[in-house]
């Protein structure tokens, strides 16, 4: 009779007459020390699995068929102690040699069946005797349920490490094509992959992006292959702890060396596959052709740009040449017109002079003109008429004088009228030109004064000691001195020791500011600077002028100062006419011609003074040499 506890009736004990179960289904709970030991052992196995990454861990996307727990197994009936060493742990538990696809549940099922079949109670092994078959089953289960041990064991199993050589797989099709050679190798090495699912090699139609992803995966391939069991020393054979440590160290060194070789082997496999992969080769050819095409396009665009530049330069040259030809043609026409006009003027002047001579002769011989009150123009007036009359006026004079056969003495009065009219026209033109020139000069001077005032406003204010130094420098370096204003600015800088010294332009602008504005109302000039300027001009006056000025051209001291100021303000680099027009505008009461003559006069005086000083120095040197010779004698 057996006593069982049923969970259905709250754990109330029931007495069973025999082990024959009734048809009634009864829920039975397991119990007892043996069950408790089994439960502890199962929990220990589960904890070990949680602490290690399974060699067959897959992503969520992996199909259940790839890691199915329902792998078939078949326990061997001929399992004997002699056969055990020749079998793998998987074969001992009834699986195929390498246990592909075997999971934890399949191992547990196979282990339970193997325990029931190979237990010593079933095989008849006496107590105290070792059952090698049952111990092999136990060792196989313990090893394969511990992921660390299982990886090390799987790594020690026979494995084909060979990879194709460099010449294999170069054919695109045929029995030795790339895909037939390399696909089995990659599939074989997927066995040790940590990251699953591993991509496949694909075929000739696989997109290039997938091909690159495939090689990227294998370049960064993570392998769980463990070579810890490949060590040369068995730690259990160590005699002491020191020898054991040494063995562990040597085994680790050997394991790391094999791991490095494994990494190199996989890297070599990837390199050789990429080298002969027809898809990679086609992509490289395409990229190379695209690069060459891009380079050719770039060079062609460059040539086109250069050709366009050359064409633009040639077009510009041609346009300039055509414009020059057109201007030359216009110039030639204008020149031809001028030459024809001049020729006609000369001819008409000659005719007028001839008729004038005949009319004067007739007037002198006949005397009838004198009685009529006709008075001819003089020879000087005749020359003036020839030089100043216009063509239509010449024609009018000739028409009034008649012809050589029929001289009209009254035409001499017409010539007088034409002369007076022409003089009045010239006077009006001269006055209009002078008025325009005066207006332009005043505008130019006003603009320059405003520019100088703006420049002065941007500068710092002049101090009293700097103004005093300016007055001294003007006396020390009179007008006409070489690099006068540069010496003046340096003199002021040295005298005042200013941190921000004034330039020569600043000195010129200040000097002009302190003097009267040209062609405008007079300004109050600083007494020291005015006195210094007068002294400098007095010192620069020549002692013995080489020629006298005309009496009618009298220059005052103020006009002389204004001339010197204008000469400094308007440099020689300007256009000559524009420069002297600006200088004459800065000197009220003087024309351009008078300013030029005054400048030449002063220049001649300075040259004469220098020449006289040079002769005096040479004479002094000669006298000194004579005296020295006499003294020596």
Q: Helix (H) and strand (E) counts for the chain?
A: 21, 2
Domain boundary among 248, 276, 304: 276
Total domains present in the chain = 4
Q: Is the pLDDT of residue 531 over 70?
A: no
Residue 24 lies in a domain: no
Kindly state the tokens that stand for 226: 């463990």
Which residue, of 255, 276, 297, is where some domain finishes? 276
Indicate the average pLDDT of the chain.
Answer: 77
CA distance 147 to 52: 6
Co-location of 343 and 399 in the same domain: yes
Of 59-68, 165-174, 196-205, the one with minimum mean pLDDT is 59-68
- Residue 537 and residue 522: Cα distance in Å, rounded? 20
| Structure tokens that stand for 323 in this block | 């414009």
Question: Residue 519 domain-assigned?
Answer: yes
Q: CB 531: neighbour CB atoms within 10 A?
A: 14
Phi–psi pair at 354, nearest 5 degrees: -65, -45
Q: Say yes or no: 325 and 239 in one domain.
A: no
Backbone angles phi, psi at 223, to 5 degrees: -110, 140
Q: Which tens digits make up the pLDDT trace of 104-122?
A: 888 888 888 888 888 877 7
Residue where a domain terminates, one of 156, 189, 215 = 156
Range of the domain at 497: 461-626
CA distance 602 to 564: 11
511: Cα separation from own chain's centroid: 48
pLDDT in tens, 120-151: 777 666 554 557 888 888 888 888 888 888 88
In a domain, residue 10? The reply is no
pLDDT level of residue 44 (50, 70, 90 thresholds): low
What's the CA gap between 36 and 31, in Å, rounded?
Answer: 7
What is the DSSP track for 345-379?
HHHHHHHHHHHHHHHHHHHHHH-HHHHTT-----H
**CA 590/CA 583 separation, integer angstroms:** 10
Contact 204, 278 (CB under 8 A): yes
* SS3 (DSSP) at 533: helix
Answer whether 599's CB lies under 8 Å from 615's CB. Answer: no
- The residues near 110 (Cβ < 8 Å, ≥ 6 apart) are 73, 75, 93, 94, 95
Q: Within this chain, do residues 539 and 399 fall inside the same structural domain, yes or no?
A: no
Quick: pLDDT tens for 402-440.
888 888 888 888 888 888 888 899 899 889 988 988 888
Token code pair at residue 459: 């500068």
Task: Return the DSSP state at 572.
Answer: T
Predicted pLDDT of residue 217: 92
- Is residue 609 situated within a structural domain? yes
Indicate whether 191 and 262 sit together in one domain: yes
Q: Which tokens belong to 451?
A: 């520019």
Least confident piece of the model among 61-65, 342-346, 469-473: 61-65
Distance in angstroms (rounded) separating the CA atoms of residues 73 and 187:
24
193 plus 87 within the same structural domain: no
pTM of the predicted model as reported, rounded to 2 decimal places: 0.41
Residue 6 placed within a domain: no
With vertex at residue 362, the alpha carbon angle to CA 361 and CA 367, rounded to the nearest 5 degrees, is: 110
Is the pLDDT at 157 greater than 90? The verdict is no
List the end-to-end C-alpha distance of the chain, in Å, as a whole number: 175
> 616 with 487, same domain?
yes
DSSP 177: B
Question: Is 460 a residue whose pLDDT tops 80?
Answer: no
**Residue appearing with tokens 């000669």:** 622
Residue pLDDT, tens place only, 318-372: 999 999 999 999 989 998 998 998 898 888 888 888 888 888 888 887 654 444 5
User: CA-CA distance, 622 to 590, in Å (whole number)?
Assistant: 46
Residues 316 and 404 in one domain: yes
Instruction: Report CA torsion sign: 478, 484, 488, 494.
Output: negative
237 and 319 share a domain?
no
pLDDT at position 59, please? 38
Q: Is the per-residue pLDDT at 465 higher than 50?
A: yes
CA angle 48, 51, 56 (to 5 degrees): 85
CA–CA distances in Å: residue 499 to residues 102, 145, 331, 480, 493: 95, 93, 59, 29, 9
Give tens-digit pLDDT for 65-99: 333 445 677 777 777 788 888 888 888 888 877 77
Distance, CA of 619 to CA of 611 (rounded, Å): 12
- The first and second tokens of residue 220, run together, are 């960064």
How many whole angstroms separate alpha carbon 382 and alpha carbon 269? 118
């Amino acid at each position: 009779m057996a006593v069982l506890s049923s969970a259905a009736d709250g754990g109330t004990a029931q007495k069973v007459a025999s082990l024959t179960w009734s048809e009634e289904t009864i829920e039975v709970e397991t119990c007892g020390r043996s069950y408790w030991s089994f439960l502890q052992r199962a929990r220990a196995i589960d904890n070990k699995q949680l602490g290690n990454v399974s060699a067959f861990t897959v992503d969520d996307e992996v199909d259940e068929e790839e890691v199915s727990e329902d792998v078939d197994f078949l326990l061997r009936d001929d399992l004997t102690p002699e056969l055990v060493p020749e079998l793998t742990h998987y074969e001992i538990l009834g699986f195929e040699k390498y246990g592909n696809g075997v999971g934890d549940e399949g191992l547990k099922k196979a282990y339970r069946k193997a325990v029931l079949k190979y237990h010593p109670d079933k095989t008849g092994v006496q107590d105290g005797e070792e059952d090698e078959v049952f111990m092999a089953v136990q060792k196989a289960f313990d090893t394969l349920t511990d992921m660390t041990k299982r990886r090390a064991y799987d790594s020690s199993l026979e494995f084909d490490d060979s990879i194709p050589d460099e010449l294999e797989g170069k054919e695109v099709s045929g029995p030795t094509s790339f895909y037939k050679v390399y696909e089995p190798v990659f599939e074989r090495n997927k066995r040790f992959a940590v990251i699953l699912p591993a991509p496949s090699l694909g075929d000739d139609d696989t997109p290039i992006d997938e091909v690159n992803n495939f090689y990227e995966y294998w370049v960064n391939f993570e392998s769980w292959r463990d070579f810890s069991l490949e060590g040369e020393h068995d730690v259990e054979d160590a005699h002491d702890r020191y020898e054991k440590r040494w063995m562990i160290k040597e085994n680790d060194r050997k394991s790391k060396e094999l791991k490095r070789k494994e990494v190199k082997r996989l890297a070599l496999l990837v390199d050789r596959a990429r080298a002969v992969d027809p898809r990679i080769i086609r992509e490289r050819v395409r990229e190379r052709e695209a690069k060459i095409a891009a380079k050719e396009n770039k060079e062609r665009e460059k040539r086109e740009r250069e050709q366009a530049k050359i064409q633009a330069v040639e077009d510009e040259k041609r346009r300039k040449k055509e414009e020059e030809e057109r201007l030359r043609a216009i110039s030639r026409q204008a020149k031809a017109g001028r030459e024809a006009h001049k020729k006609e003027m000369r001819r008409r002047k000659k005719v007028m002079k001839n008729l004038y001579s005949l009319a004067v002769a007739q007037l002198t011989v006949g005397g009838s003109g004198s009685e009529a009150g006709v008075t001819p123009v003089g020879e000087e007036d005749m020359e003036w008429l020839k030089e100043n009359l216009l063509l239509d006026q010449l024609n009018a004079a000739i028409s009034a004088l008649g012809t050589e056969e029929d001289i009209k003495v009254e035409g001499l009065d017409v010539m007088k009228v034409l002369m007076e009219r022409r003089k009045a026209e010239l006077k009006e033109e001269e006055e209009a030109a002078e008025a325009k020139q005066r207006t332009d000069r005043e505008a130019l001077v006003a603009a320059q004064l405003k520019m100088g005032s703006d420049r002065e406003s941007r500068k710092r204010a002049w101090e009293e000691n700097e103004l005093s130094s300016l007055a001294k420098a003007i006396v020390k370096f009179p007008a006409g001195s070489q690099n006068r204003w540069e010496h003046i600015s340096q003199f002021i800088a040295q005298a005042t020791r200013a941190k921000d010294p004034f330039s020569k332009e600043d000195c010129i602008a200040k000097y002009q500011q302190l003097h009267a504005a040209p062609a405008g109302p007079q300004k109050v000039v600083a007494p020291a600077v005015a006195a210094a300027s007068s002294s400098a001009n007095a010192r620069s006056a020549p002692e013995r002028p080489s020629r006298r000025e005309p009496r009618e051209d009298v220059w005052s001291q103020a006009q002389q100062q204004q001339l010197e100021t204008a000469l400094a303000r308007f440099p020689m680099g300007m256009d000559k006419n524009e420069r002297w027009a600006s200088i004459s505008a800065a000197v009220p009461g003087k024309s351009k011609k008078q300013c030029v003559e005054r400048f030449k006069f002063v220049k001649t005086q300075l040259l004469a003074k220098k020449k006289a000083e040079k002769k005096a120095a040479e004479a002094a040197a000669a006298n000194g040499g004579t005296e020295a010779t006499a003294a020596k004698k």
